[in-house]
Structure formats: structure tokens, C-alpha cells
Amino acid sequence: MKKNSAYLLAKKQNRQKIVALTAYDYPTALLEDKAGVDVMFVGDSVGTNILGYDSEQEVTMDDIVHHLKAVRRGTSQAYILADLPYASYETPQQALGNAKKLLANGADIIKLEGVREEIVKHLISHDIKVCGHLGLLPQTQQEKRVQGKSFEQAKELIEGALTLQRIGISMLLLELIPEELGQIITEKLSIPTIGIGSGRFTDGQVLIVNDILGITPRKLKLAKTYQNYQNLTVQAIGQYKEEVEQNVFPSEENVRHMAQEELQQLIEWVNRSL
Ligand code: KIV
């Protein structure tokens, strides 16, 4: 069964946690889908995690569409969220055009940062499902500092969340805010919240897939490494290198042979003619 926003809402209402993870390519999407991930984020984190960019600001619509199409091909049950990248939603018309492009290429919901009332209203009035994004906003805040630690900032975030819900967003991502604030916002909203680095009480959690698999060298306080693919990958590649150099790979089981008669004929021809 393909998951949808009603499924995610029911999970919140039944106090079941929503499991989200970033996905950027076809094989990973297949595996995440098989493992039962509820929401796959084709986020602009693709820039720094996959494309080697220095910042989220370098990510383009073409980048997101390229990775989104691959993820869609590998997904049958998960709900797919795609980011509108930096500077792709400056006006309501531009946002609508780009959101439609993401939907046409496989997104079920689109995410954009901040409280952009006019833009969000315009998208929702065109029946587009929108996920808000509050707290740390990587497209405009390069420094990864916890947001909403003071009363004033926390109040502003709560008000922003309520405004976005009132306008009609279906879901809200809360990035890098104190646990207490994540809990208050989650309890005050009727739509699901997904947290990253925002404590234990949001309706769901999302992490960068590279971090949980130990693909990237960084160790973040907000993430947990469940496997060390850096070591496993270097080990596997090192073993392959050694086996190629030592003529161990390919071995008999990896090769194909010609039929004896065909080979004999070929050898005779080579000897005769070359
Ligand atoms: O860009 C992204 O993948 C995100 C993460 C913070 C989940 O929004």
C-alpha cells in the first residue's frame, strides 16, 4: 500500500512514530522501501551529502528532479517528500511552477523553508501538499546552531508553526531546536511534526541516510551511526584491488567460455590468417 498524508496523520493520532529518512538514489530507495520507511526525503541535503557541494545554496531544481526520479523508481510504499531548493520559490508563480515539476517527477509533497505565507497559500490553493520547515533553515543559515533557545525565538517558532498549520500545510519539519520546544509545537499542532535534532517528542524522526550508515566521516550529536559503511566499503574495495593485482579475481566462476568446437575453429583461423 502506498502511504499518504492520511496515513501519516493517523500515525500521529494513534501515537505511532513516523519513520523518515533521506534517500537520494534508486538502490537506497529500494532498500528503505523494503525496510518500511514511511517518508523518504529527497532533500537539498543531497548537495553536501552526495554531490560534493559546499552548501545547500548550490542545489538546483535539476539536481532535485534528477535524484527524485531515481528515488521514485525505487519506491512502492513510502511517501516521497521533495525540497524546493534555494531561490526556487521567490514568487508564488515561480514556486507553483517548480512545485508542479517536482510532483510531475514523483514527489507526493513538497517542502519549503520558513514562514512564507503568500507562497504556501498559493501552493495549497492549487491542491499541492506542503511540508513546512522551521528551526534551522540550511538554505539561509550556514551556521548549524540550535534555534529557539530563548523565550523570544521559541515564541516566534511556535507562532510560525501555528500560522503554517492555519494556512493548511500537511506536515512540519523541525530542525535543530531544543527538545522542550519540539514537544510544545508537536502537542499544539494537529498535523504531524518530523524532527531532526529536535528531541524525542516530535511525531516522527528523520535523519540523513549517509549518517546512519556511516558513509560520511562526520559524527553529529543529532544522529546515530547504525553501521560503518566507510570501513566496510574501504575494506571491500581494498580486497577487490588486491585480488585483481594478485590475479585472484576474476576466477573460474566469474568467466564464460566458448564451445570447444567454436574455439577450435577460431584457433585454426587465427593461426592460419593472422
Ligand atoms: O534537506 C534535507 O534532506 C532535509 C533534512 C534536514 C531532513 O530537510
Model confidence at 193, pLDDT cuts 50, 70, 90, reads very high
Half-sphere exposure of 162 (CA within 13 A, CB side): 10
The alpha carbon of 42 and the centre of ligand 1 are apart by a number of angstroms equal to: 8
User: What does the longest C-alpha to C-alpha distance in the chain come to?
Assistant: 91
Task: Report the candidate in 196, 170, 171, 169 with the shortest Cα–Cα distance to residue 182.
Answer: 196
- Check pLDDT > 90 for residue 125: yes
CA–CA separation, 67 vs 72, rounded Å? 9
Tell which residue, 128, 143, 78, 68, has the closest CA to residue 60: 68
Whether the Cβ atoms of residue 244 and residue 253 lie closer than 8 Å to each other: no
- Mean pLDDT calculated for residue range 16-26: 98
Residue 216 is predicted with a pLDDT of 85
User: pTM score > 0.85 for this model?
Assistant: yes
Question: Which tens digits make up the pLDDT trace of 71-116?
Answer: 999 999 999 999 999 999 999 999 999 999 999 999 999 999 999 9
Domains and CATH numbers, the chain: 5-227 (3.20.20.60), 232-273 (no CATH)
Catalytically annotated residue among 175, 179, 253, 268: 175
* 43 Cβ closer than 6 Å to some ligand 1 atom: yes
Assign 155 to helix, strand or coil: helix
- Give the DSSP H/E element, type plus range, for residue 197: none
Average pLDDT over residues 190-206: 98
Residue from 24, 40, 41 whose mutation best tests the ligand 1 pocket (most atoms within 8 A of CB): 41
In the predicted model, what is the mean pLDDT of the chain? Answer: 97
- Ligand 1 pocket check for 45: Cβ under 6 Å: yes
Categorize the per-residue pLDDT at 144 as very low, low, confident or very high, splitting at 50, 70 and 90: confident
Active site residue 175: yes
